[in-house]
Structure 1
Amino acid sequence: MAWIFGLSAECGAEQAIAEQFAHHFENVSWVLSNGSQTQCHADIFQDIEENWWCRICPSTISEVGIDTPETAYLMTELGILLYQRLRSAPTFRYALVGVEVDEFRTYRELLEESPAPAFPGLVLSETLWQRIGASTAFRPFSSGYVWKPYEGEVYKPLLVSSDLKKKLNELLVLQ
């Protein structure tokens, strides 16, 4: 199973807005700190509420999730670059960078969730932010947008190492 890292943005009911958003990221490339080059690929799709999303996936990054500290570092570096580019993107309602962030919340779910979600990296239009309660956990991101600042990606060895899981299970049995 693939665990894709990228940026997902919900753009509302108009396909043309999602297409403009995708165009802003399509084929953008960066050279990362390890010397590798990555290029963004964008695609759009509709969710079950018929709102349009844009998914931005950088190339040459792990598709198995965060399996090493180095992968977490590179994904965090890419996350920062994606957020920098997002600041000048065409309009969208909300966006998030991370592993498996496609359709992380539908628009209706976001409106109905109480308290309003404030997970790290979530960018909201100011209109949406005010509509869901204007949480003080958010700070200015760019003109017309606020965010809960990004905290980077995290490597969790217990999620990827069967040896460590076994050792932890042995420890838990001894209680």
Structure 2
Amino acid sequence: MGWIFSLSAECGGKTAAEEFSHHFDKVYWVLSNGCQSQCRAEIFQDIEENWWCRVSPSGISETKIETPESAYLMTELGILLYQHLRSSPPFRYALVGVEVDEFRTYDELLQDSSTLTFPGLVLAEMVWQMIGLPQTFRPFSPGYVWKPYEGEVYKPLMASSELKRKLNELLIVG
């Protein structure tokens, strides 16, 4: 099973999602390890018929975080995605991470705003106002606020079956 690392942005309408997609599609960066990564952007609709854009950087976007190095590279790409997001066409909200597609529909976001604890969540100021101006958000770019990105995390117990086995042995009470 693939684990998609991406920037996912809810744009509302199809035209907005297409413009957002064009802003990111084929953008590339040279990473600190010397590898190049190119973005692939695609649009899709959620169950509420709102339009999203998923931006997946190449080379790392379909792997789970299996090493500290992969967490580092995903974090580096996350920062680059957020930097490029600052100059993007309008969107309603966005998040970078592993498996972030449709992390909340628009209605869920508005109805359940008390649970918005996602580091890296970027909201249009209009959406931020609609959810009651939570003070945990900071300015991101003109017209947007965010909860600052904290990077991706390597969790050895999730990546290593050997470590999981050892932990399970420890949990068995003799």
TM-score by length of 2: 0.97
Cross-structure match for 1:159: 158
Q: What root-mean-square deviation, in Å, do the aligned CA atoms of Structure 1 and Structure 2 show?
A: 1.1
- Give the gaps of 5 or more residues in structure 2: none
**Alignment-mate amino acid for residue 65 of structure 2:** I
Q: CA deviation at 1:114?
A: 4.5
**Alignment-mate amino acid for residue 3 of structure 1:** W
Q: Is the 8 A contact 1:18 1:54 kept in 2?
A: yes
Distance (Å, rounded) in 2 between the aligned partners of 1:97 and 1:163: 30
Report % sequence identity.
Answer: 72
Equivalent residues, number: 174
Q: Is the 8 A contact 1:116 1:135 kept in 2?
A: no
Moved over 2 A (4+): none
Cross-structure match for 2:138: 139
Q: Is the 8 A contact 1:140 1:146 kept in 2?
A: yes
Distance (Å, rounded) in 1 between the aligned partners of 2:26 and 2:53: 14
Cross-structure match for 2:11: 11
Q: CA deviation at 1:64?
A: 2.5
Q: Is the 8 A contact 1:116 1:132 kept in 2?
A: no
Q: CA deviation at 1:45?
A: 0.5
Cα offsets for 1:107-144 (capped at 9, x unmatched):
00101115140310000001101111211110000000
**Alignment-mate amino acid for residue 27 of structure 2:** V
**Alignment-mate amino acid for residue 25 of structure 2:** E
Local SS of the residue matching 1:88: coil
Local SS of the residue matching 1:120: coil
Distance (Å, rounded) in 1 between the aligned partners of 2:34 and 2:63: 21
Cross-structure match for 1:115: 114
Distance (Å, rounded) in 1 between the aligned partners of 2:157 and 2:166: 10
Distance (Å, rounded) in 1 between the aligned partners of 2:63 and 2:115: 30
Aligned CA distance change for structure 1 residues 80 and 114 (closer, same or farther; 3 Å): closer
Distance (Å, rounded) in 1 between the aligned partners of 2:125 and 2:143: 5
Distance (Å, rounded) in 1 between the aligned partners of 2:18 and 2:158: 36
Q: Is the 8 A contact 1:24 1:90 kept in 2?
A: yes
Q: Is the 8 A contact 2:6 2:61 kept in 1?
A: no
Q: CA deviation at 1:171?
A: 1.3
Local SS of the residue matching 1:115: helix
Distance (Å, rounded) in 2 between the aligned partners of 1:114 and 1:43: 27
Aligned CA distance change for structure 1 residues 170 and 78 (closer, same or farther; 3 Å): same
TM-score by length of 1: 0.96
